[in-house]
């Protein structure tokens, strides 16, 4: 380790993937978050905490250590927020992270729903040339925290978080402790294995080229994002149609693993949404809206898949009738008009378009 001055220890389940406690305790400044857990996990995450990050009062944690500093995070940007002032009476060395740090973090990430870790990291990089991290999973693991059963919320977006940290790691500003990221399994379901072992898997998107091009012409789209593009056959096919930009994204299929930034006139998914659980659908709908598309095209299967995931469940997690999907899409995309284009009874799939109102 080049610099043992400061480390941020997250609460992600990867924190107990190795016995890093002794290495963590060597740092001069050890930053932990909210209701962090140490008892019983000392070999994994260490036994010291010198700085605490909190988004709430957490009375039991206020006096757990003689913190040298406490970082208080709140979406209320008023420095005289009453809740913070009350907290500061109990914790005099508390500092409220200012608005400009939130703004810079959101700007760098390309998304305003930044995590506490990302915001505090942005703050600390003003003072330290290098910051170590450990236990940051970028919200990609099924379990949220290693020491409790708190469920993940919808505020943070895994692809944005992951890209934000990866960029800082590539720049040498952030250092993962003991290369712990190499142990993470972001493919817990086994999709990368399915793509690698079945050559014909993830190549069907180009089948829908004609209706996609028709929609693109109607919304005057010059840029297209194929979200969860598989092996990229649709990307290749559309690239010859005169679009200014055609981009594919799929975390399990190189070379499309880089999360895209910016806006796209048209966002496309083919045989993807049914792979999500119902509770995860909303998260991906919100991500799609951040691209500010004029239109969207979705093909959704209405039957179980032939593939079984590592946990023994079917790869199609949400199998619903076409009417259910029509209603769900319209509720998610309130500023768009959603309509069913085609329902194929033989192959059990349905295609939908969503056109932004006023387009």
For residue 94, what are its two tokens? 């508390």
User: Cα dist. 103→4, 121, 125, 261 in Å?
Assistant: 28, 13, 15, 17
Q: What six digits make up the tokens of 237?
A: 């096919």
Mean pLDDT score across all residues of the chain? 88
pLDDT surpasses 90 at 160: no
- State CA 311 to chain mean position distance: 22
Check residues 332 and 258 and name the one with the higher pLDDT.
Answer: 332
pLDDT tens for each residue of 203-258: 888 899 999 999 999 999 999 999 999 999 999 999 988 899 999 998 888 888 88
- Helices then strands, counting H and E runs in the chain, come out as 12, 13
Please give the domain boundaries of the chain with CATH numbers for all domains: 6-183 (3.90.1480.20), 193-356 (3.40.50.150)
What's this model's pTM, rounded to 2 decimal places? 0.64
């Amino acid at each position: 380790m080049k610099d043992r001055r400061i480390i941020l220890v997250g609460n992600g389940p990867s924190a107990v993937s190795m016995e890093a406690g002794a290495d963590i305790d060597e740092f001069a400044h050890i930053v932990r978050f909210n209701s962090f857990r140490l008892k019983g996990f000392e070999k994994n995450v260490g036994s010291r905490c010198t700085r605490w990050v909190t988004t709430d009062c957490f009375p039991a944690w206020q006096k757990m250590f003689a913190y040298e500093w406490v970082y208080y995070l709140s979406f209320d940007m008023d420095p005289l927020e009453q809740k913070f002032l009350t907290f500061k009476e109990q914790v005099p060395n508390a500092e409220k992270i200012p608005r400009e740090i939130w703004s810079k973090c959101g700007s760098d990430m390309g998304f305003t729903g930044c995590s506490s870790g990302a915001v505090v990291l942005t703050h600390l990089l003003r003072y330290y040339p290098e910051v170590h991290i450990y236990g940051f999973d970028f919200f990609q693991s099924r379990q949220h925290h290693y020491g409790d059963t708190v469920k993940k919320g919808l505020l943070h977006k895994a692809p944005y978080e992951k890209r934000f940290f990866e960029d800082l790691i590539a720049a040498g500003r952030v250092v993962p402790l003991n290369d712990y990221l190499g142990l993470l399994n972001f493919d817990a379901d086994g999709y990368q294995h399915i793509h690698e072992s079945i050559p014909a898997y993830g190549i069907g998107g180009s089948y829908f080229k004609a209706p996609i091009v028709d929609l693109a012409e109607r919304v005057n789209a010059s840029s297209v994002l194929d979200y969860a593009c598989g092996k990229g056959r649709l990307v290749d096919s559309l690239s010859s149609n005169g679009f200014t930009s055609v981009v594919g994204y799929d975390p399990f299929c190189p070379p499309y693993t880089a999360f895209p930034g910016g806006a796209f006139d048209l966002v496309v998914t083919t045989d993807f949404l049914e792979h999500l659980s119902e509770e995860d659908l909303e998260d991906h709908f919100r991500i799609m809206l951040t691209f500010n598309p004029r239109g969207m095209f979705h093909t959704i299967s209405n039957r179980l898949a032939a593939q079984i995931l590592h946990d023994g469940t079917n790869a199609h997690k949400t199998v619903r009738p076409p009417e259910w999907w029509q209603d769900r899409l319209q509720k998610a995309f309130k500023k768009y008009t959603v309509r069913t284009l085609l329902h194929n009874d033989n192959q059990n799939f349905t295609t939908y378009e969503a056109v932004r109102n006023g387009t």
